[in-house]
Structure 1
């Protein structure tokens, strides 16, 4: 299948991107509005972009109407600050819940039953349950796309918060102790295996063609994309508080 990108609208291009770039790390982004209302949102267009100073990037799409900016973007633009929190399996349900569209007056920590932890430098709180968090200040905001409604945010990490048991000698993170949750297309994946190459050829052959093992008992080919729960804004369309 060869697909001409010029013939795609934003929704179809988005489906191809999120189904092909897998797994994606999830930045569980906490922000606070000018009025002091805390917000949370999972952002899977997320990566590291620099080392000195350490920098990360997140890309934010508008709401389902394709025009209105999400609270996360508005808060980052207005305050110049945000926090990325690492979500692990125990926080997966709350993380998913934070993808629903709440009004800007709703404190999503309170709505989702999550505890806030004060940050040291930025106003936005951290998720207390998150094993790793980065406090970030905005370095730049870059409009992208033909209509300029998507935005890439570069954030300079000013504080790393790492749970003590995960911080090993020489500054290494004990990654194998983290049941990290990544993003596939509109679903999640649990990081629960580790390897280096080369692998035994019999092992590779035995896994050839094998489908991922589902943890939720859904049918093999089920996807939220085929339901009314999904929207090309990256948000879900119904849920807590709706």
Structure 2
């Protein structure tokens, strides 16, 4: 099948992108409004764009109404600061819950039962317990018309790494992170590591093996088929 992207609406395009660009790292973004209200949101349109200085990017869609700007974006725009926290399997449910749309005046740290940790150079708090956190100041904001989408580049000013993860030579012990990623509208635990080449017989077996589900749902289940999913990156329905 060949799909002409000119024929797609935003929802259809989003479905194809999140089902094709896999796995996606999750930026668990914490920010604070100009009024001091804490906000947390998972963003999987996330990557590294520069090394010196280190720069990361996050792409933010509007709320599920496709019009209202998300609190995360408004906070970043108004304060020029945010923190990218990296989440591990122990925080997976809180990551998911932070995708729900809370009212602007709600401090999401309190709503989610998460503790704040002080940052060093930005006013936005870190998420306590996150194994790695990147304190960022805004480098640039790029509008993506005709939709009310925006790309934010953040210059990383401080990197917080849990002591046991920081190895001699400046390497991160990635095998000890228990990091989670995004697969379409679901999550994946990174629990295996390899270098190439792998044995041919192993590759052949893996090619015809469906990924194992950790939640005991049917193998073809997807939240995209439920009423709680929206093409905004937000989750609707009950928190």
TM-score by shorter chain over 0.5: yes
1:83–1:133 Cα contact (<8 Å) kept: yes
TM-score normalised by the chain length of structure 1: 0.98
TM-score normalised by the chain length of structure 2: 0.99
Alignment correspondent of 2:209? 210
Higher strand share: 2
Q: Give, in whole Å, the separation in 2 of the partners of 1:199 and 1:100.
A: 40
Structure 1 unmatched ranges of 5 or more = none
Q: Give, in whole Å, the separation in 2 of the partners of 1:156 and 1:136.
A: 5
Alignment correspondent of 1:141? 141
Large movers: runs of 4+ above 3 Å: none
**Deviation per residue, 1:171-217 (Å, 9 max, x gap):** 10000001101001000000000000011111112212110000000
**Deviation per residue, 1:85-133 (Å, 9 max, x gap):** 0011000000100000001110111111111100000011001110000
Structure 2 unmatched ranges of 5 or more = none
The two structures, once aligned, show a CA RMSD in angstroms of 0.7
Alignment correspondent of 1:73? 73
1:29–1:83 Cα contact (<8 Å) kept: yes
Alignment correspondent of 2:193? 194
Alignment correspondent of 2:50? 50
Task: Quote the offset at 1:66 in angstroms.
Answer: 1.0
Q: Give, in whole Å, the separation in 1 of the partners of 2:208 and 2:202.
A: 12
Q: Give, in whole Å, the separation in 1 of the partners of 2:21 and 2:207.
A: 20
Please say which of residues 205-214 and 47-56 is displaced more in the overlay: 205-214
Alignment correspondent of 1:239? 238
1:81–1:124 Cα contact (<8 Å) kept: yes
1:167–1:174 Cα contact (<8 Å) kept: yes
1:47–1:57 Cα contact (<8 Å) kept: yes
